Amino acid sequence: MKDAPYAIDLGTTNTVVARWNNELGRPEIIRLDSICRNVVKDSAIDDSYTIPSSLFLLPPSEVYGFPFRFFFKNRQKKTGALIGSRADARDGGLFKEQYITRFKPLLGANSYRFIGKLGKWKYTPDDAARIFLNNLFSEIKETTGASLKEMTYCIPVDFYEFYRARLQHIAEGAGMKKIKTIDEPVAAALGYGLSLDDRKNILVIDFGGGTLDYALIKTEESARDQGRCTVVAKEGIPLGGNVIDGWLLQKVCEHYGYNFDTIAADPSINWWFRMLLAEACRIKESLFLKDNDTFYLLPSSILNSHGMAIPGSRENLKKTLDISKTEFAQLLETRGLYEMIDRGIDSLIARAEQKGIGEDDITDVLLVGGSTLLPGVYKLIEDRFGRDRVRAWQPFNAVAFGAAAFAAEKIYKDDHITHDYAFLTYDRESHEKEYNIIIPSGTPFPTRDDFWKRQLIPTCALGVPERLFKLVICEIGKKHAGGQEFAWDEKGKLHSLDERNQKSLVVPLNEDDPTLGFLDPPHSPGEKRARVELSFMINEDRWLCATVFDLKTGKHLFTQRPVIRLK
């Protein structure tokens, strides 16, 4: 696999490298230990495979050995850099002039603005991208032994062709023979396992560290081969995880009596302000999965060793503040997060309707970006579009996975069901719950009429004749691929499905209406013979349909009745 085509998802905050693994039959994320984030023990979010999109510029004299460091010392084009976690460590949180972050958004809009400096030399976003990517290519080669003959980039739909052409030029300059690009929404669709053989209207909600972007795209068969899509409508809000961190830090400052704006503007304690923002980010991510966590104004080890003055008494700085998920959700509500998300969708739909596409015409809704894990966000989207249309289990990996599949031309050609589905019964003696799989994940649809067929005995759970034949259908969330994945229960609570938590998440889907037929005459508790013959199939619109035949009366109670829509 050394010469397998690689894909790069260059992000504003994080970058991910992926390739297709032929042995596993799926994409995989490549972990570059020297530049990826450090593993944080007991962290709620596993981002250890991500590479910070940052670089720390180095003069040629620090990069090249003798005698080249003398030949190149006055050549700016020979500037080197540390990238990723190495760059972050070298800067140490001081944000020096040679430390550059967040260069990606400027590539498509303001690529000639100076964003970094090394001595007398100044650097543009274009320079930063070239230096970052060339160093990234070197890290990939050194870690994997790959020759890197091919490279695929993920491209935001709202960037100019200059961005696409510039990244291709950088790869060509590094000696690559084949360069491909794929629009990020198309990559997300492939990463979530959607077939592009048919026309679809796909809403991609990208809620990351810097922005909240909506893109409604129309896919056609050409998208599968060219990696391009037709953008029906798009909308962007300057709201991301970094803004949420600020909201949370302001709440902490109010509690302790600090002035947030004063701390943010004071250069003498900028390091402390940055540390507080990082602590706010940690709390935010922790509350994705935990019910509460503790905010620390200053870790004791730093408090005891740091000589710079910090506002407030040392005893005050040692105090902690417990923050609950409920309080955090209330903060998001007060700040208007959910209203802004809904308003952004409304605006996008209004634009789409001008082109003849309404909200009901959207076939799938894809969530990408870490901020989609914020409390209440998934529930808001699910309530609006329905659980069957929303795909959200891999917000960090979907784009990179799809790009890797596209790079290797391993595109999904058949639509398939992505979760296991089962009906709930109870053991007659132990009364323990039992889940009977009727639709396993990976099932292509539509299926034959009797895809699953059994004869069943009504439970008569209360010891009285059973008049209603009822079955609760459940979705069983489990991992689809490598890395951390997520699922939401019926109450909208987030659960992790990563390697550290292999337990499946079972979500009942039709508890409000579980009836699949009326038994006349009723079924007696003492009757041990099968009473109904039940069969399930999936139609072309992903509806699970049930056919129920009463063996006692010889009559059909239902024929291919839609029960729930699968995904």
pLDDT for 303 equals 47
Q: Is the pLDDT of residue 300 over 50?
A: no
Q: Is the pLDDT of residue 220 over 80?
A: no
SS3 73: coil
pLDDT, tens digit, for every residue of 337-390?
999 999 999 999 999 999 999 999 999 999 999 999 999 999 999 999 999 899
Question: Which residues touch 90 (CB under 8 Å, ≥6 apart)?
Answer: 56, 82, 99
pLDDT, tens digit, for every residue of 333-342?
999 999 999 9
Is the C-alpha dihedral spanning 519, 521, 522, 525 positive or negative? negative
pLDDT for 373 equals 94
Question: Which residues touch 291 (CB under 8 Å, ≥6 apart)?
Answer: 324, 325
Q: Is the pLDDT of residue 137 over 90?
A: yes
**CA count, 13 A, side-chain hemisphere, 198:** 9
CA distances, 32 to each of 5, 138, 242, 414 (Å): 16, 11, 25, 33
SS3 56: strand
Which helix (H) or strand (E) segment is 104 a member of?
helix 104-107
Q: Is the pLDDT of residue 164 over 60?
A: yes
Q: Which domains does the chain have, with CATH numbers?
A: 6-192+394-407 (3.30.420.40), 196-393 (3.30.420.40), 420-565 (no CATH)
pLDDT for 85 equals 93
Q: Is the pLDDT of residue 486 over 90?
A: no
Beta-sheet pairing, 543-550 with 555-565: antiparallel
Strands annotated E in 30-88:
51-52, 54-58, 80-83
Counting residues of the chain whose pLDDT is more than 70, the rounded percentage is 88
Q: Is the pLDDT of residue 467 over 80?
A: yes
pLDDT for 49 equals 87
Tokens of 35: 């530049």
Query: Position 323: which residue type?
Result: I
Helices (H), 192-336: 221-226, 241-256, 260-265, 270-289, 300-305, 314-317, 325-334
What is the distance between the alpha carbons of residues 424 and 428, in angstroms, rounded to a whole number? 13
pLDDT for 133 equals 95
Tokens of 159: 């960037």
Confidence of residue 72 (pLDDT cuts 50, 70, 90): low
pLDDT for 534 equals 93
pLDDT, tens digit, for every residue of 228-268?
778 899 888 888 888 999 999 999 988 888 888 888 888 87
What is the distance between the alpha carbons of residues 21 and 28, in angstroms, rounded to a whole number? 6
Tokens of 450: 């009797």
Per the CB < 8 A criterion, the answer to whether 494 and 410 are in contact is no
**pTM, rounded to two decimals:** 0.85
